[in-house]
Structure 1
Amino acid sequence: MRGFKGVILALLVLFVVLVILAFVLENQQGVALAFLGWTTPQMPVSVFVTVALIVGLVAGPVLGLVFGRKLNKSRISRST
């Protein structure tokens, strides 16, 4: 059973890698983003989407920790 789970996990990882590769290869059009007077150099769309994904994956847990601590502190102070 342990070997079967490993094979399924390896196939799942391979599938995710192939989907990401297809996404990157299909989104090679160059674009430049402008925001509040700041303009980026021209890069493929996939770069901007990947950076936005990574920032979101990092920001979500960080905000959860920050606001989770504040909520826990307020719950502790109410219970005492």
Structure 2
Amino acid sequence: MRNLKRLIFFVIVLLIALVTVVFTLENQQSVSLVFFGWAAPQISVAVPMILSLLVGMMIGPMLAFIGRLRKKPKSARAA
């Protein structure tokens, strides 16, 4: 069972990597982003999309952790 879970996890990671590579290869158009007056150099449209995906993947678990901390009773937090 444990090996099956590892195999499924490995397959999912490979699929995500494959989708990311295909997305990057299909989106080679150059764009220049402007954010609050700051202009980024022209880069492939895939770069900001993948960066925003990675930032979201980091923020999501942090918010879930904070939400779990708030739901715990005060007596459990003090211990």
So what's the TM-score if we normalise by structure 1?
0.68
Provide the residue aligned with 1:37 in structure 2: 37
Shift of the alpha carbon at 1:2? 8.1
Provide the residue aligned with 1:22 in structure 2: 22
In structure 2, do the counterparts of structure 1 residues 55 and 15 end up closer, same or farther at CA, with 3 Å as the change threshold? closer
So what's the TM-score if we normalise by structure 2?
0.69
Shift of the alpha carbon at 1:65? 1.6
Shift of the alpha carbon at 1:68? 2.4
Provide the residue aligned with 1:56 in structure 2: 56
Residues 23-58 of structure 1: CA deviation (Å, up to 9, x unaligned): 111101110111111111111011000000000000
Letter in 1 for 2:74: I
Q: Determine which structure has the larger helix proportion and give its number.
A: 1
Shift of the alpha carbon at 1:13? 4.5
Letter in 2 for 1:33: L
CA distance in 2, matches of 1:44, 1:36: 20
When structure 1 is superposed on structure 2, of 45-54 and 59-68 the one drifting more is 59-68
Letter in 1 for 2:66: V
When structure 1 is superposed on structure 2, of 59-68 and 29-38 the one drifting more is 59-68
Matched length = 73
CA distance in 2, matches of 1:57, 1:67: 16
Q: Percent identity?
A: 40
Classify the secondary structure of the residue corresponding to 1:25: helix
CA distance in 2, matches of 1:2, 1:67: 29
